[in-house]
Structure 1
């Protein structure tokens, strides 16, 4: 086997480098966290448009109230307040195919459309297959935001206002959305993860890495839930509420 190498970091007794940048001389006090994060993950210098789109995505995905991830974090923190990182990591486990992390699945659909010679036909094929299988529509629908998700409207408008972006992912998403509405016979909103998939795709983030940015963003939001839990605990209330609302039913063994 070839000996592996790393391009991410090196250090000496008196210095440390992130890629080809000196941490002390080139980064500290000169670059933002988002810039350095992008540089580390993508291996290239971020453009101003990359930062605008990425910041918009990170802010959007940071918080959405008492979601499963936030509830998990609060419950674990209530149980083990000495283990803040354990509480946050518990919440991050909920970043998956149903909540927050669905941009990865949506982006894969957009990539199929972008790569197709007949994009309209490919979008139709995708939607018909999803409907036939009664599968979840990744990046579409929301239990609260109807008829449209205001976050998606803003995110897509931000992307379309950037002349430097190719617009291929946004175009594919809008085509997919119109096809869904036609085949399902009703309007189904593009949710925030659908819009963030398009924005991340526009700045060159591979679909296989998109969920990682959701993890980074949601981690900050979960730390905020821990901070609030320290001041105004909700974990015990959630526990008591469930204990009272879900009744015990005695049933004979089979």
Structure 2
């Protein structure tokens, strides 16, 4: 006879007529005015309160990937906001959909690779060498490496990893793995390839104990703040119409129909 299914439950929040609790803390008595946003985000997601060193690392990671100019996510936010200015959240949501395996969300891809190296029975160095060889054979980018806007090094990555090394209680497994992987990447390509910001963020979140499958969530939290800033600037200095007009004129039409942007070919 099969056992009855256990009833689902939540540990995140409960309320009464006179109180609200976040996990085991009274929101109004224990948290509001006493805890910072990053602290509460960390505690709600991971189920433990971070210390000052944890907060310093997580704040740095979140700030580092909050903004990077008119990237695809920011452009999407501005264009959708122009189309739906009554719904700010629509523009932000559109931009967050770009947090994927190519931009920002690569924090997860990088951390998954690092965890595979750490857990490999071959040892980190041999596993890293084999992984780089496989990525090259498959002609796929190596998660956490390369940045077309920053050479020879992504300045955010160098600073983030330095902050991580200053944490007195990190085990250092992810920090060691990213450095070993970096050496193997450089050796395989015969030149220096920078660790990028998402690679560094994945490293720090790994040291903090964040499971790789949750890391893209931290990317979403970070980038959402940046996208709200883009909406605020779009309200003051509209760019979406300019972007639309630019694309309309610069991308030529090929066909027999008449149009202002017909290709000369």
TM-score normalised to the size of structure 2?
Answer: 0.93
Equivalent residue runs for 1:73-84 within 5 Å: 73-84=77-88
In structure 1, the partner of 2:59 is 55
Q: Distance in 2 between matches of 1:22 and 1:154?
A: 36
1:116 deviates by 2.4
In structure 2, the partner of 1:116 is 120
Q: Does residue 1:8 correspond to 2:12, yes or no?
A: yes
- What runs of 5+ residues in structure 1 fail to find an aligned partner? none
Q: Who wins on radius of gyration, i.e. which is larger?
A: 2
Q: Which moved more, 1:72-81 or 1:45-54?
A: 45-54
Q: Distance in 2 between matches of 1:66 and 1:191?
A: 18
Q: Distance in 1 between matches of 2:96 and 2:167?
A: 31
In structure 2, the partner of 1:151 is 156
1:59 deviates by 0.5
Runs of 4+ in 1 over 3 A off after TM superposition: none
In structure 2, the partner of 1:240 is 245
Which secondary structure does the structure 1 equivalent of 2:15 belong to? strand
In structure 1, the partner of 2:232 is 227
| More contact order relative to length (CA 8 Å, sep ≥ 6) | 1
* Deviations 1:58-102, CA, capped at 9 Å, x for gaps: 100100000000000000000110010010000000001000010
Q: Distance in 2 between matches of 1:212 and 1:163?
A: 26
In structure 1, the partner of 2:110 is 106
1:251 deviates by 5.5
Q: Distance in 2 between matches of 1:119 and 1:9?
A: 40
* Deviations 1:112-149, CA, capped at 9 Å, x for gaps: 11112422110011010000000121110011100100
Q: Distance in 1 between matches of 2:168 and 2:22?
A: 31
* Deviations 1:210-242, CA, capped at 9 Å, x for gaps: 110000000000000000000000000000000
- What runs of 5+ residues in structure 2 fail to find an aligned partner? 258-265
Q: Does residue 1:131 correspond to 2:136, yes or no?
A: yes
Q: Which moved more, 1:108-117 or 1:89-98?
A: 108-117
Aligned with residue 189 of structure 2, among 177, 184, 197: 184
Which secondary structure does the structure 2 equivalent of 1:200 belong to? helix
TM-score normalised to the size of structure 1?
Answer: 0.97
Q: Distance in 1 between matches of 2:109 and 2:169?
A: 25
1:163 deviates by 2.1
Q: Distance in 1 between matches of 2:238 and 2:80?
A: 12
CA RMSD of aligned residues (A): 1.0
Paired residues in the alignment total: 252
Q: Distance in 1 between matches of 2:239 and 2:95?
A: 15
Q: Distance in 1 between matches of 2:179 and 2:151?
A: 17
1:177 deviates by 0.7
Q: Distance in 2 between matches of 1:123 and 1:228?
A: 43
Which secondary structure does the structure 2 equivalent of 1:17 belong to? strand
Q: Does residue 1:210 correspond to 2:215, yes or no?
A: yes
